[in-house]
Amino acid sequence: MSGDDVTGTGGAAGAGPGRGGLSRRLLARMIREEWRLQAELFGDRFALFPLVVALVGGAGFWLLTLTGTSAEAVAAGIHGLVFFFGLQVGTIGLVGRDALRDVLGDTTLLVFSARTLPVTWRRLLAVFVVKDLLYYSWLFLAPLALGYAAVALSEGVAPAAVGLLWVTTTGAFAFGVGTSLTLAGVGTRSRAAVAALVAAVAVGVVTGRLDAVALSPYGFYLDPSVRAAVTGFGPALALLVAGPLTFQPVGGGAARSTPNRYSRLRSAIGDDRGITTRTILEVARSSGSVWKVLFSMGVLFGVTALLVREVARATTLDPSYGVAVGTLLGLGAFTTYSWVTQFDSADEYLRYPVAMDRVFAGKRAAYLLLSVPAGLLYLALALVWVPAAEVAVGVVVFPLVAVYVYGVTAYVTGFSPNELLFDTPLFVAFGAALALVSTPLVVAALAHGQAPTTANGVAVGVSVLAAAVGVFLSSRAGPRWHRKLR
């Protein structure tokens, strides 16, 4: 086969499927596999997930319009968040069979069958990506667009614009997946090249030489023309093609030796049981290293800053950047939670003479050590245009909300935060718990212009209370999961 796959153009009888036929059949099987995987993990109730996305999304958009935020600003925020979600999905899909096994148990997916089937891993990966695009576009982005439609149509937005939003958010998702894919692909060959690529794009955006909006599907949403279609979808398409072309499977290269960092890190952070040390090393050595924490916080920071600016522009309100950014960064620390629990399972710790509450305490330390410095860095960046007093409130709010998010996530999901994606009751419970804290904080942020002292007091008070609840919940997470697992 010379490393190539079955094409059906030759063969003894010439009866095999052609390239397109093979890919279509693989795609159909991968979609069925994905459905069965979700059904196996969460039961049939995950089928309700699109409905919940539509309802929660619609409620969220409605609340934003109550604050005076325009439907267009909401659309901009959706594109940013969906791009970020695509980045996440692309990264998880690419960390390899080991990490997938850590997350899902002993699972073999079709995408990993290049060693046993006469199909190249490049084709498998490309079909896998198309499957992800179709799957998330229909199950997640279409309901999101429906939720948006319910609000946007009443605001006078044309129905065509809602359809366009679905197309361009699918593009934004593809852009995110393609970016992750390509960076991971290039990273399997040269980490320096990844750093150079990221630096070049960052310099281009900061200096204004690269128009990030025009080069993204959001550009086409703003200006639906042929030219904007080419410039808006072109980069996403190019990245989706470049990813599978550059990617080399993990483990396919030479064995990587690494100096012993464990002892030094463990001593530096005073970690007696080693759980925090192990977790930080695993996050740091997996795809994207600790930069993925910084990057995810950066996207949230950017989206929040944009939304706050839009609210200030569209209304007479003068929202507090500090409270808004602190709240959103704290909520966004959820992604760090998923990373610190991605590489091991709670079952493993049942083999060691260590109580589960100590395991969760170790994970919490890793989570805070990774997320808090990243969040504080962005709050420091906000000092460029936000008064120091406002940022100071954000510096208080952010870590306290992060502690709350840790407690709720650990208690509700244990070591499987990704279950939230498709377990509808769990998703609703988790969303309600976050709304309980984020709603008064967002109100405090919006009311800041009218009564700054009260707003700051409420924000700090709610955050302190939330952190106390978070500490309590994380102390109960160990015993709860100990009981559930045994």
Taking the complex as a whole, the smallest distance from the CB of residue 195 to another protein amounts, in Å, to 19
What is the Cβ-side half-sphere exposure of residue 324, based on CA atoms within 13 angstroms? 25
Which one, 44 or 106, has the nearer CB to another protein? 106
Q: By CB under 8 A, which span of 9-17, 191-199, 280-288, 396-404 interacts with another protein?
A: 280-288
Taking the complex as a whole, the smallest distance from the CB of residue 198 to another protein amounts, in Å, to 21
Q: How far apart are CA 295 and CA 288, in angstroms?
A: 9
Taking the complex as a whole, the smallest distance from the CB of residue 107 to another protein amounts, in Å, to 12
Q: How far apart are CA 176 and CA 80, in angstroms?
A: 10
Tokens 């997938």 belong to residue: 100
- Per-residue binding string, another protein, 457-486, x by CB under 8 A, is ----------------------------xx
Query: 9 with 18: CB under 8 angstroms?
Result: yes
Which one, 274 or 302, has the nearer CB to another protein? 274
**Interaction residues for another protein, span 303-362 (CB under 8 A):** 343-344, 347-355
Q: By CB under 8 A, which span of 91-99, 165-173, 211-219, 438-446 interacts with another protein?
A: 91-99
Taking the complex as a whole, the smallest distance from the CB of residue 369 to another protein amounts, in Å, to 17
Burial of 473 (0-12, 13-18, 19+ CB in 10 A): buried
Q: From 324, 258, 326, 333, select the one nearest 292 (Cα to Cα).
A: 333
Q: By CB under 8 A, which span of 17-25, 80-88, 198-206, 261-269 interacts with another protein?
A: 261-269
> Letter for the amino acid at 271?
D
**Interaction residues for another protein, span 209-238 (CB under 8 A):** none
Q: From 81, 232, 215, select the one nearest 148 (Cα to Cα).
A: 81
Q: How far apart are CA 33 and CA 189, in angstroms?
A: 30
Q: How far apart are CA 237 and CA 391, in angstroms?
A: 39
Query: 445 with 323: CB under 8 angstroms?
Result: yes
Which one, 96 or 440, has the nearer CB to another protein? 96
**Size of residue set near another protein by CB under 8 A:** 43
Both tokens assigned to 310: 């839009």
Question: Among 102, 132, 310, 419, which residue interacts with another protein (rule: CB under 8 A)?
Answer: 102
Which one, 279 or 463, has the nearer CB to another protein? 279
250 binds another protein (CB under 8 A): yes
Radius of gyration of the chain (CA): 23
275 binds another protein (CB under 8 A): yes
Taking the complex as a whole, the smallest distance from the CB of residue 349 to another protein amounts, in Å, to 8
Torsions phi, psi for 406 (to 5 deg)? -60, -50
> Letter for the amino acid at 157?
V
Q: From 229, 217, 130, select the one nearest 181 (Cα to Cα).
A: 130
Residues contributing to the site for another protein (CB under 8 A):
96, 98-99, 101-102, 106, 250-251, 254-263, 266, 271-275, 277-278, 281-282, 285-286, 343-344, 347-355, 485-486
